[in-house]
Amino acid sequence: MTEQPYKRKEDSALLSMIESLEDELKQTREVLTGLQDTQKAFMIGLDSEGHRKQHEYLDALIQKEKDRAAFRQAVIEKTLASLVWSALVGLAYAIGHYFFPSKW
């Protein structure tokens, strides 16, 4: 008697589901490959001036986001530095008020 690798109905159902998903994945991969080839052919036909302008626009957007991130980082750093200085001034005031209550 040969032993079957999948003894239960659920196992064979899962196996068939996996096989159908693999087939769908293969079909999707073929469609995407076709779309990629179509886009490559389209990009070759574009005028170089328009393509260059698109790159310039994207480079400007990337630079704008980098500048925005740098500005945000600088604001965070300055805010934290101000918080530390405020804490030091408050601590100095508290110590001065504790040791010299008549002068405050």
The DSSP secondary structure of 17-39, one letter per residue, reads HHHHHHHHHHHHHHHHHHHHHHH
What is the rounded distance in angstroms from the CA atom of residue 4 to the CA atom of residue 10?
14
One pLDDT digit (tens) per residue for the chain, 104 residues: 455 555 666 677 778 888 888 888 888 888 888 888 777 766 666 667 777 788 899 999 999 999 999 999 999 999 999 999 999 999 999 999 998 888 65
Dihedral sign computed on CA atoms, order 59, 64, 67, 69: negative
Residue 40 C-alpha from the chain's centroid: 26
Tokens representing 11 are 């196992």
Letter for the amino acid at 87? Answer: A
DSSP 4: P
What is the value of pTM for the model shown?
Answer: 0.45
pLDDT at 37: 77
